[in-house]
Structure 1
Amino acid sequence: MDHRTLKERLAGAFVALITPFDAADQVDVAGLRGNAAWMLTRGLDGILLLGSTGEQVHLSEFERALVLEVGRQQIAADRLLIAGAGLSGTRQTIEETRQAGRAGADVALVVTPSYYQKAMNAANLTNHYRAVADASPIPIMLYSVPPIVNVTLPAESVAALAGHPNIIGMKNSGGDPQMAGLYREAAAGHDFIILGGSAHAAPGFLLTGLVDGVILAAANVLPEAAANLVRAARDGDIAATRRYGELLRRVSETVGRHGIAGWKAGLAARGQVGGLARLPLRNITDSERQQVIAWTNELAAAL
């Protein structure tokens, strides 16, 4: 039995898992089960479902509930299930966190709302997250992912929210060390977990204490590297941290250049179920797929 606190367990390595679809463009339940089971044999501390890489925005309400239900059945209690959540409105986001709680998720990762970008200032984002945290049946994490939603969570909001009893931390998917430092400073004095989402920035951020762990899309292809990266940084092993960080950087620059379709093809190259990305995302060509397979095999052999 794991006697660590939830925050201690969050300071680890997680995959932002893809959502596989079958030939009829339905959620591939068997594929999802198999992918989750395989990931948990690779040393990861848990799985994020319905994150940006999981195409949360492409799934219906029923499909989102199904993915979490299947995931909880597959992810044993000694590993964490993080549920991606967050819609354009606060009321809808609250319902998402309630659904995640009903499905048995341990934490809800709540992305910044972004439809009305010009209105997403520090005051409005703070009010949004406070309302969600007040109503959520499970702890929430703030989620800043400016490369995707073009909204950066201000450090001012983190400072205002870090002490909330139901806000356990945040995911910072940006790669700016200055911003990462501002987040860490904003949370000073609070037991607040920060997870990194950039494979390029992760080694440096881990070694300097700017993040406590990682949630990476690159872990779809190299989950072992993500798990070993966090362990090496925790042990102060700079050489190993750099080695695993370099593998994750390379897989991000090769397989990751094709986005979600690339991560799915890379996961399939590891013997798991990838499938196609949903429109309007572009799927890769046969020649690109062969290239992804070659890159994946080369990098996996270097683990």
Structure 2
Amino acid sequence: MSIPMHNTSRGTPASPPAAGIYVPVPTFFAAEGTAAYDPVSPPLDLETQSKHSLFLVKGGIKGLVILGTTGEAVHITNKERNELIKSQRKTLDDAGYKDRPIIAGTATQNVEETLQQIQESKEAGAEAVLVLSPGYFATAVSQTGIQRWFEAVADKAVLPIMIYHYPGVTNNLHIAPSTFEKLAAHPNIVGTKLSHGIIDDQTLIAASPNIDHDHFSVFTGLGQNLLPVLAIGGVAAIDGLAGVFPRVVVRLFTLFNDSLAKGIGKKEVQEMRELQFRICQGEKLVARWGVVGLKEALARVWSFGGAKGARLPIAGGFEDGDGEWKKWEKVYEGLKKLEDSL
């Protein structure tokens, strides 16, 4: 795989995931109207999950992030986690995509449970983990406490870890750029996903001369920030909209890097701006509705799963169904045409 196993002795540094667009995939559950549907806790729909995974890698996606926020990690049992990761590793391998890594998410609050999930994720076929910062006691946690928590995980983790900084789901817990500089020096901490729009903080991490950027990669978690984050030294995105329109988001990433290599001209700048504009239009749905919006879009645009295939308390899709979708339909029809043209 592209992400090697690490040395737990704080000796040999692990390598970050290869640059490219990754998708935080939604977890598909049995949809309303199917025989297996349960309105409280529908079972996993691994058939649809696999179809979606192959749709993504055929569209140029570099790898999958399974059981992040979009994957409803907090609604999934450990047994289901392992089943889901293992099934998608097999799906990719059997289809000839052994080079596409799976990054597994963790969202626990204590070190030991996080380490257990990392161990099981490795056994199921993951090559790295995206570890959500522990935000339950956000108002009482110091930057030193955050640093020591991640270092304690990284010291014993059997996979390379990435720091998942998403204040929106961690009680607005803030990790300072200076803390990132310290954590980036750990040989088993190989990058971060920054799911916030604080562009100055992103710059202070992605462009910091105090970070070895060959060892520690900065990914934006917001496709609407992809172009500016690439410009300040970030490597790519782990982006929800790419789960619906992979070729569109990959096109922006590829155009930037190809143009950077040969020299960026006015024509390339204009196309990049236009692509970023279209991505921002689509991302408004993701920002407003999160995984609910993504599942609606996947069901309506590509017939993946059912919009109501989720677990409580977020099950149900848009409350007014077609009424809400009509607000986004024109933008998504345009993005689908663009996706098909690529």
What TM-score results when the alignment is normalised by the length of structure 2? Answer: 0.82
Q: Read off the aligned partner of 1:265 and give its amino acid letter.
A: E
- CA shift, 1:294, in A, is 4.9
- Describe how 1:87-236 pairs up with structure 2 within 5 A: 87-149=108-170, 150-184=172-206, 185=208, 187-190=210-213, 191-209=215-233, 211-236=234-259
Q: What is the alpha-carbon distance in structure 1 between the residues aligned to residue 303 and residue 159 of structure 2? A: 34
1:236-289 alpha-carbon deviations (Å, 9 max, x no partner): 342332222222111111465222111001112223224433222262132246
- CA shift, 1:220, in A, is 1.8
Contact 1:144-1:173 at 8 Å conserved across structures: yes
Secondary structure in structure 1 of the residue aligned to 2:130? strand
TM-aligned CA distance change 1:2 to 1:50, over 3 Å: closer
Q: What is the alpha-carbon distance in structure 2 between the residues aligned to residue 243 and residue 74 of structure 1? A: 34
Unaligned runs of 5+ in 1: none
Unaligned runs of 5+ in 2: 6-13, 31-36, 260-267
More deviation, 49-58/67-76:
67-76
Contact 1:2-1:78 at 8 Å conserved across structures: yes
TM-aligned CA distance change 1:62 to 1:294, over 3 Å: farther
- Tell me which of 273, 285, 298 is aligned to 1:267: 298
- CA shift, 1:290, in A, is 4.5
Contact 2:131-2:161 at 8 Å conserved across structures: yes
Secondary structure in structure 2 of the residue aligned to 1:10? coil
Contact 1:172-1:194 at 8 Å conserved across structures: yes
Contact 1:200-1:245 at 8 Å conserved across structures: yes
Q: What is the alpha-carbon distance in structure 2 between the residues aligned to residue 81 and residue 222 of structure 1? A: 19
TM-aligned CA distance change 1:187 to 1:60, over 3 Å: farther
Matched with 1:301 is: 337
More deviation, 100-109/113-122:
113-122
More deviation, 177-186/27-36:
177-186
- CA shift, 1:100, in A, is 1.2
Identity rate, percent:
26
- CA shift, 1:206, in A, is 0.9
- CA shift, 1:181, in A, is 1.6
Cα RMSD (Å) of the superposition?
Answer: 2.3
- CA shift, 1:186, in A, is 6.9
1:183-221 alpha-carbon deviations (Å, 9 max, x no partner): 231752352111111122211111232x11100011122
More deviation, 274-283/62-71:
274-283
Matched with 2:312 is: 279
Contact 2:296-2:307 at 8 Å conserved across structures: yes
- CA shift, 1:163, in A, is 1.6
Q: What is the alpha-carbon distance in structure 2 between the residues aligned to residue 4 and residue 95 of structure 1? A: 19
- Tell me which of 84, 87, 94 is aligned to 2:105: 84
- Tell me which of 10, 13, 27 is aligned to 1:19: 27
More deviation, 182-191/8-17:
182-191
Contact 1:255-1:266 at 8 Å conserved across structures: no
Matched with 2:86 is: 69
TM-aligned CA distance change 1:3 to 1:257, over 3 Å: closer
Asked which structure has the greater CA Rg, the reply is: 2
Between the two proteins, the alignment pairs up a number of residues equal to 302
Contact 1:86-1:111 at 8 Å conserved across structures: yes
TM-aligned CA distance change 1:97 to 1:261, over 3 Å: same
Secondary structure in structure 1 of the residue aligned to 2:218? strand
- Describe how 1:53-64 pairs up with structure 2 within 5 A: 53-64=70-81
TM-aligned CA distance change 1:176 to 1:30, over 3 Å: same
TM-aligned CA distance change 1:180 to 1:3, over 3 Å: closer
Q: What is the alpha-carbon distance in structure 2 between the residues aligned to residue 207 and residue 240 of structure 1? A: 15
Q: What is the alpha-carbon distance in structure 1 between the residues aligned to residue 256 and residue 248 of structure 2? A: 12
Q: What is the alpha-carbon distance in structure 2 between the residues aligned to residue 8 and residue 168 of structure 1? A: 5
Secondary structure in structure 1 of the residue aligned to 2:223? coil
Contact 1:50-1:85 at 8 Å conserved across structures: yes
Secondary structure in structure 1 of the residue aligned to 2:238? strand
